[in-house]
Amino acid sequence: MKDLLGLKDLSAAEITEILSVAADMKKLLLKREKSDCLKNKNVVTLFYENSTRTRTSFEAAAKALSATTASISASTSSIQKGETLLDTGRTLKALNTDAIIMRHSMGGAPRLLAENVDVSVINAGDGMNEHPTQALLDFLTMQEVFGSFEGLRVLIVGDAKHSRVVRSNIWGLNKLGAKVTVCGPSTLLPVELEKMGCKVTCDLDGALDGQDVVMGLRLQLERQSSGLIPGGEYHDFFGITEERLKRAAKNAVIMHPGPINRGYELSGGAADCEESKILAQVTNGIAVRMAVLYLLIGRK
């Protein structure tokens, strides 16, 4: 495979293989050992939107495998002078780039680049479409806690309408055998979710019963047109709190892709409690991204 554009495109076996390699990569990471499997490879992060976790962890992953890295932000590059996406991609190819890790506000932009430039393209989040490596790091975190996905009950709460994370999670978790429920205000629950094969509800307290994983989603205020949710009431109806979590399964964990809007999606207590895996997710992001880079451009 040349590119990683989304989990919709992958089989359960391919997802399982990435998770298996990521588990091995995590052992290297925890020992702070480097591998030279990407020696002489050049990796570029090309971000048209802001990021802390994804960009930093891709750079850490590439460096841990001995690749050279360069970082391009739309706001400080020749994109500001009118250079097109494909011209930027071809320019990076001419600069001996092996992989472009790309985030863009338009769904489908990484696919356009992948289909037109002979470089590996990794989707680091495209509009409301997919964020495959986020879902893969979520799966590695779930696998570490629960061992397997068959019958795992996963509740995803919040702004599903604007979330690429929810779409990648649903595509992947369904293939792995988990049971996914999505909960949020009706204005933020698009009709396509049920067709993707998950349960949809606006009743958070009812939905929490017996869940193994409770994942909050960020309210994507930058993508929302006005009037989708009333301000202060969101947390009352859809905020995940320690009190509400008592309804979930005994060993349930809390997850969130970050960044968190504290006091909206999660209370501070829920974000920081013992059951929270939010920082473990961030660390697992490096291991998963090492695995993806290795499988796409490192494997002989």
Which residues bind to ligand CP, rule: CB under 6 A? 51-54, 125, 134, 257-259
How many Cβ atoms sit within 10 Å of the Cβ of residue 31? 8
Residue placing its CB nearer to ligand CP in the complex, 117 or 137: 137
From residue 261, give the alpha-carbon distance in Å to each of 123, 182, 232, 235.
24, 19, 13, 10
Contact 132, 167 (CB under 8 A): no
Beta strand pairing call for 68-73 and 42-47: parallel
Residue placing its CB nearer to ligand CP in the complex, 151 or 259: 259
From residue 50, give the alpha-carbon distance in Å to each of 47, 172, 189.
7, 25, 25
Q: How far is the CB of 65 from ligand CP (least distance, A)?
A: 20
Residue placing its CB nearer to ligand CP in the complex, 131 or 175: 131
Rounded Cα distance, 92 and 77, in Å: 12
Residue 178's DSSP bridge partners are none
Q: How far is the CB of 39 from ligand CP (least distance, A)?
A: 27
Residue placing its CB nearer to ligand CP in the complex, 52 or 78: 52
How many Cβ atoms sit within 10 Å of the Cβ of residue 253? 24
Closest-CA residue to 139 (of 123, 129, 150):
150
- Say which DSSP state 248 is in: S
Residue placing its CB nearer to ligand CP in the complex, 131 or 179: 131
Contact 130, 103 (CB under 8 A): no
- Where would I find the H helices in 31-98? 53-64, 85-94
Q: How far is the CB of 83 from ligand CP (least distance, A)?
A: 23
Rounded Cα distance, 76 and 169, in Å: 32
CA angle (78, 84, 90) in 5-degree steps: 85
Q: How far is the CB of 259 from ligand CP (least distance, A)?
A: 6
Residue placing its CB nearer to ligand CP in the complex, 190 or 285: 285
Residue placing its CB nearer to ligand CP in the complex, 177 or 259: 259
Q: How far is the CB of 282 from ligand CP (least distance, A)?
A: 8
Residue placing its CB nearer to ligand CP in the complex, 48 or 179: 48
- Say which DSSP state 262 is in: B
Q: How far is the CB of 155 from ligand CP (least distance, A)?
A: 18
Closest-CA residue to 257 (of 64, 52, 23, 3):
52
Q: How far is the CB of 286 from ligand CP (least distance, A)?
A: 13
Q: How far is the CB of 67 from ligand CP (least distance, A)?
A: 19
